[in-house]
Structure 1
């Protein structure tokens, strides 16, 4: 039985899907499951922009009426959101350029999200007395943790990732 490239039909070994020429074209672009983290990065960047806006608005509107601990919390949150937005924008640019560094950057981004959400929740609890940490504060951390548990292994072992970014 002969095996052929699924694009052009050229004879290829049994363990491959594409011939060398078609494989180069196929993996030159983002495809497969890589669309999900790409869209996730776009949503994250937009989310951080909205959080920057909300934090800045809260600081401006309430600066004189809140105590120093609340000011520290809002300013630290704003700083975290700005840094994470810039990090997401940088990773998006690397994603589009299909840079070799992208898998490590994306894994770092997932870990940074968990760390910054945890730090932000902890500083909220410590700096603002009477605030109770509940469902609304903890669910984003667990959601990010589950996401990291899915995407970190994918970015470390996926053939698609290796062929698209590492070459």
Structure 2
């Protein structure tokens, strides 16, 4: 039995075309929305929370030993949050660029993205919980954010590992 011979042009087209679903549609639309929302939220967090705390008056109020609001962890936590938010903003921009360029590294970047969000959110909460004033002001929002981040990890990490669309889309 003879196998059909394909023309060279047909072979190239067939070899380059992924089998099954591909493209930035399907569940990846939610990923796009989430990435853009994260970018906006990080910009807002930096401009509305981090930068105002770093101004001299607020910084002095929280970190000066003679202040009524002083706690030794305020300084390190504020710096940790500022550095993390700035680095995560840059990482988010990199992930968005890799996403739209359909880079093969994107699934790994997304696993890192979700894992780091959960880990840093948990560490930040545990550090803040050591400061009595911050503990009193906690309204449950931090716990909700950690739970939300955990759910996102439970859904999206397996998706980026097993999805046929992801495997067929991010190949460059």
State whether TM-score is above 0.5: yes
1:59-138 matches, within 5 Å, as: 59-60=54-55, 61-67=57-63, 68-126=72-130, 128-132=131-135, 133-138=138-143
| Partner Cα separation in structure 2 for residue 32 and residue 134 of structure 1 | 36
| Unmatched segments (≥5 aa) in structure 1 | 1-18
Larger radius of gyration: 2
Q: State the TM-score, normalized to the length of structure 2.
A: 0.76
Q: State the TM-score, normalized to the length of structure 1.
A: 0.79
Alignment root-mean-square deviation, CA: 2.4
Q: Report the Cα offset of residue 43 of structure 1.
A: 0.6
| Unmatched segments (≥5 aa) in structure 2 | 1-12, 64-71
Answer 1 or 2: higher relative contact order, Cα 8 Å, separation at least 6: 2
Partner of 2:25: 31
| Partner Cα separation in structure 1 for residue 85 and residue 118 of structure 2 | 13
Q: Secondary structure at the match of 2:61?
A: coil
Instruction: Please say if 1:140 is aligned against 2:145.
Output: yes
Greater than 3 Å deviation, 4+ residue runs:
26-29
How many pairs does the alignment contain? Answer: 147
| Partner Cα separation in structure 2 for residue 66 and residue 165 of structure 1 | 46
Contact 1:55 1:78 in 2 (8 A): yes
Partner of 1:41: 35
Instruction: Please say if 1:55 is aligned against 2:58.
Output: no
| Partner Cα separation in structure 2 for residue 69 and residue 33 of structure 1 | 41
Q: Secondary structure at the match of 1:166?
A: coil
Instruction: Please say if 1:162 is aligned against 2:145.
Output: no
Distance 1:20-1:27 versus aligned 2 partners, 3 A rule: farther
